[in-house]
Amino acid sequence: MAAILAPVAWRDGHLEIIDQTRLPGELVFIRLETKEEVWQAIKELKVRGAPAIGIAAAFGLYLAVKDFPAQDKEELCTQLKKAAEYLASSRPTAVNLFWALKRVQEKVSGAEGLTVRELKELVLQEALSIQQEDESMCREIGRYGAELLKEVDAILTHCNAGTLATARYGTALAPVYYLAERGKIMHVFVDETRPLLQGARLTAWELKQAGIPVTLITDSMAAVVMSKGWVQAVVVGADRIAANGDVANKIGTYSLAILAREHDLPFYVAAPSSTFDLSLATGEEIPIEERDPQEVTHFGLRPVAPEGISVFNPAFDVTPHRYITAIITEKGILRPPYRESIRQMFFK
C-alpha cells in the first residue's frame, strides 16, 4: 500500500493543508498564516472532515496569538476567546471544531506560573497534541473496525471519512487501511456524494493513491449495489453524535442506513470520542448547516437548473440510532442500547 498523505501539518511556523477543493485534478498544498486564512479554509471546504477541522482550528488559535502583544495571561485568554468565537463561526455542525477550541482554551486557563511566551508555546503544543492524538485514535478505530470487517470482501462508504478528513488514516476508511497494511485488500464502493462530490473527488482519489480497489457509483445506485450482494457492510463517518447514538453525517447517510436495513446489511459508524456531544440528548438538537443553493443548481460552474428555482441544501442529515449496527471508536465498539454504552465509554 502506498504512503498515506497528511492533509494537515505544522511546518516552519505556518499551517500547511492540502487544498481539497483542487482535488482530484491537482494536488496543491497551501500555507495558512493567519486565523482569517484558517477560517476561510474551513468555510470553503479547503480543509474538511470533522477531525481535520478541529485540528486546523486549534492551529488557528496559535496563529491568532503568536504575535499578539499580550502583557499577561488574562489579556492572552481574552484574545484566545475572541479568536475561538471567530473560528467557531466557520461551520456549525462538526462538534470537533468546538471541542478542539475549548480544549486549547482550557489548557491555557488551567496553566499556572507561565510567562506569556510560554503560554503561547502551550497553545502550539496543545494543537500538536490534538493532531497526534487524532492520528493515534484513527489507528485504534482501524484496529477495532478490522475485527468487524476481517471477513468482509467489500464495503460501501459515503462522502469522505478517510485520511483527508483526519490527521491520518481516517475513520470509516481506517479499518480498510489497517487491513491493507496486513495483507487483506478490501474493495470499496464509493458514493459520489452530491452535491459537492466528496466521494468522487476525494475518497476515490485517496483510495486509488493508496492502491485500494475502488468502484465509484452515483448516490442513487447504492440500492442496486446492495441488492446484487456486491457489498457486505456500509461504513460511514460522523460529524456529531448525540447522547442517544443519533448520528449527523453528510447528507445522504440516512438514506443509506435505511437501504442497509432493507438489505440486511450491517451499518457501521466510525468516529473518535471527540465527535460525541453528550450535551445533546438526541439528533433532533444537532444544528444542521444549510449551504449555498448554487451547489445544487450548478454542476461545477455550469448551471443545471432553472434560474431562480427554490433550493433546499442541507449539508448533513441525522441517522436515528435504531438503524446503526455499531459505532466504532478508538475506545472500542459501541452497541445498542447506545445511551448506555456511550455513557459507559465516557464515565467508566
Q: Which three cell numbers stand for residue 19?
A: 487544498
Q: Which three cell numbers stand for residue 295?
A: 451547489
Task: Name residues whose C-beta falls within 8 Å of residue 70's C-beta, 6 or more positions apart in sequence.
Answer: 76, 79, 116
State the DSSP code for 320. Answer: -
Looking from the CA of 156 toward its CB, the CA atoms found within 13 Å total 32
Task: Name residues whose C-beta falls within 8 Å of residue 294's C-beta, 6 or more positions apart in sequence.
Answer: none
In whole angstroms, give the CA distance from residue 278 to residue 273: 10
List, in sequence order, every beta strand (DSSP E) within 80-124.
none
Task: Tell me the longest C-alpha to C-alpha distance in the chain.
Answer: 66
Residue 129 CB burial class (10 angstroms; 0-12, 13-18, ≥19): middle
In whole angstroms, give the CA distance from residue 102 to residue 80: 10
Looking up cell 440528548 gives 281
Active site residues: 239
Q: How far is CA 343 from CA 63, 247, 273, 346, in A?
A: 35, 16, 11, 5
